[in-house]
Amino acid sequence: MNEIPDPGAGPAGRPEAMTAHQLTEQARALLDRRRVQQARALLARALKEYPDSTGLLVEAARADLIDGANDEARDTLQRVLSLDPDHPDARWFLFNLELGSDRLEQAEALVLGLLRDWPESAQFYAGYARLMLRALMFPKARALALEALRRDPDSDDALRASALCDIVERPGANDSVALARLVASNPDDMYTMRLVVAALANASRDREAHALARELLRLQPDDPGLLELVRALRAQTHWSLLPLWPMLRWGWYGSIAMWIAALALLQTLRQVAPGAVGWVTLFLVVYIAYSWVWPPLLRRWINR
Amino acid sequence: MASTNPDLLQPSLTSARVERSPYSQQAHVLSAFFGGPLSALAMSGINAYRLRRIEKDAPWLIVAMVLYLSFEVWLAIDPGGQDFVRWAGSWAGSNALTYVTRALALAFFAIGTVMHRREHTATDLMGLKRPSGWILGFGLVAGGILATTALRNLLQ
């Protein structure tokens, strides 16, 4: 297998390149711990000294990505690629950026290029699987996830791609082997735990999903996506929605079953207790109005 | 170690092949409930087209359409169908036929969403933006009611 070169390393024996490499490592460590402001300050100083250090530029792009400054990150990554067109980290980050920006064709070109240069990389196969899932091309996504696992059965990226395929393909897939292995090997990893939340929510186990998402938010309180997820699950599990349980549990199928049951009840009452029909109809009208009006109001109240 | 399937590394996405997210289940169920079986099938067909799987869905859509048209013909022409209308009316009153066709429309909705379950799950999981269903929904409801009325007048 071709080794992926260390993006921060410069030519051996040049002390200034080593220093740039050390600064890159420091910035990377800060960004790994989400200390973005400190990393930015360090990168600003370092880039004054080494403006063409591809390693420092990639970490600067990573800081932009964490802050959601996608355009700035894209410009920086393009600059890295103008200095070093084969830079693997720059190509990989750019792939993730294009994928997140819904520029799927560009993302595919990048990941195919990476796979041409590193055909044994489970990480790149897994990335391509995520892209295919995003493009709603499930058979290819599954085949790529399997290929990633074949290359490296213990790769977290491959297991994540496989777990995502499980969640999408099987209703109520909270028994995904890939997800179980991920949790066993990375019990503290945020992304893994978010996958568990998604699997629980997909299996309509909203209370457990809400409890876990709340714990994750305590660990990462500045994550807007997580906050939105917790709010949505909180609304979904609020006590005032208990009367809507069949709809919450089975979605529109539950609503259809309720409609058929209500029709059958009314017709039966017309035969056996005509005096009760008016009251039951009134109750059903109030129930339907509540089911349409209250959930969006509750969501708005929780999001305020 | 070479790839077991060389096709995996062939590009799959061009601007014409990028899948588009489906209309929501809410838009679909409301179109079916108020517009009838034709609206339900039309929405399933539109979603299948958006998801580039019309060839896969065409057989069941055609079978469902033939089933519904046969049902309407049976109700209008066959003595057994007219007996069924009378029996349903004795149980559910003058709206019996509306209830039966609505139930059929909801069954078509259920089949359509089961067929597109993976796409709906992935759309939610990946946070993809769905198109607004308001204009299409109103159009399908109006079109469904008009087409059903025209069909029944024709059969009478």
CA torsion through residues B83, B95, A251, A284, sign = negative
pLDDT digits (tens, 9 = 90+) for B26-47: 999 999 999 999 999 999 999 9
Q: Round to whole Å and give the CA distance between A221 and A216.
A: 8
In a domain, A263, yes or no: yes
In a domain, B132, yes or no: yes
Structural domain for A301, as ranges: 240-304
Buried b (16+ CB within 10 A) or exposed e, B1-23: eebeeeebbeebbeeeebbbbbb
CB spacing of A134 vs B118 below 8 angstroms: no
DSSP B87: H
Question: In this predicted structure, what is the pLDDT of residue B47?
Answer: 96
- Axis-axis angle for helices B25-35, B37-50 (nearest 10): 150
Q: Which two tokens stand for residue A221?
A: 């309180």
In a domain, A165, yes or no: no
In a domain, B114, yes or no: yes
Q: Round to whole Å and give the CA distance between B124 and A293.
A: 23
In a domain, B64, yes or no: yes
In a domain, A273, yes or no: yes
In a domain, B145, yes or no: yes
pLDDT at A287 over 90: yes
Q: Are A14 and A50 in contact (CB under 8 A)?
A: no
Q: Are A39 and A30 in contact (CB under 8 A)?
A: yes
Q: Round to whole Å and give the CA distance between A200 and A237.
A: 13
Chain B residues whose C-beta sits inside 8 Å of any chain A C-beta: 1-5, 8-9, 11-15, 18-19, 21, 25-26, 29, 51, 91-93, 99, 103, 106, 109-110, 113, 117-119, 121-123, 125-126, 128
Q: Round to whole Å and give the CA distance between B13 and A141.
A: 13
Where among A44, A76, A99 does a domain terminate? A99
Q: Who among A116, A147, A253 is closest to B8 (CB)? A: A147
Where among A99, A121, A147 does a domain terminate? A99
In a domain, B124, yes or no: yes
Q: Which two tokens stand for residue A184?
A: 């066993």
Structural domain for B42, as ranges: 22-155
Q: Round to whole Å and give the CA distance between A215 and A146.
A: 31
Buried b (16+ CB within 10 A) or exposed e, A245-276: eebbeebbbebbebbeebbeebeebeeeeeee
Residues 6+ apart with CB under 8 A from A138: A132, A165, A168, A169, B118, B122
Where among A82, A99, A116 does a domain terminate? A99
Q: Which two tokens stand for residue B64?
A: 């469902």
Contacts 24+ apart (CB under 8 A), A183-186: A185/A154, A185/A156, A185/A159, A186/A156
Confidence at B2, pLDDT banded by 50, 70, 90: low
Q: Which H or E run contains B11?
A: none
A263 lies within 8 A of chain B by CB: yes
Q: Round to whole Å and give the CA distance between B112 and A201.
A: 22
Buried b (16+ CB within 10 A) or exposed e, B81-115: eeebeeebeeebeeebbebbbbebbbbbbbbbbeb
Contacts 24+ apart (CB under 8 A), B148-155: B148/B36, B148/B37, B148/B38, B148/B101, B151/B69, B151/B72, B152/B72, B152/B76, B155/B72, B155/B73, B155/B76, B155/B77
In a domain, B26, yes or no: yes
Nearest C-alpha in A relative to B106? A256
CB spacing of A138 vs B109 below 8 angstroms: no
In a domain, A224, yes or no: no
In a domain, B53, yes or no: yes
Start-end of H helices in B36-53: 37-50
In a domain, A156, yes or no: no
Q: Round to whole Å and give the CA distance between A233 and A299.
A: 10
CB spacing of A135 vs B13 below 8 angstroms: yes
Task: Report the domain count for chain B.
Answer: 1
In a domain, A152, yes or no: no
pLDDT digits (tens, 9 = 90+) for B81-122: 989 989 888 888 888 899 999 999 999 999 999 999 999 989
How high is the mean pLDDT of chain B? 90
Q: Are B87 and B14 in contact (CB under 8 A)?
A: no
Q: Who among B3, B21, B109 is closest to A147 (CB)? A: B3
pLDDT at B16 over 80: no
How high is the mean pLDDT of chain A? 87
CB spacing of A252 vs B18 below 8 angstroms: no
Nearest C-alpha in B relative to A172? B121
Q: Which of A27-41, A44-58, A116-130, A171-185 has the lowest mean pLDDT?
A: A171-185
Residues 6+ apart with CB under 8 A from B141: B30, B31, B34, B35, B39
Q: Are A94 and A84 in contact (CB under 8 A)?
A: no
In a domain, B13, yes or no: no
A278 lies within 8 A of chain B by CB: no
Average pLDDT over residues B12-19: 69
Confidence at B1, pLDDT banded by 50, 70, 90: low
Confidence at B4, pLDDT banded by 50, 70, 90: low
Question: In this predicted structure, what is the pLDDT of residue A194?
Answer: 83
CATH number of the domain at A17, please: 1.25.40.10
| ipTM score for this prediction | 0.86
Task: Report the domain count for chain A.
Answer: 2
Give the 3-state secondary structure of residue B50. Answer: helix
Q: Are B100 and B88 in contact (CB under 8 A)?
A: yes
In a domain, A154, yes or no: no
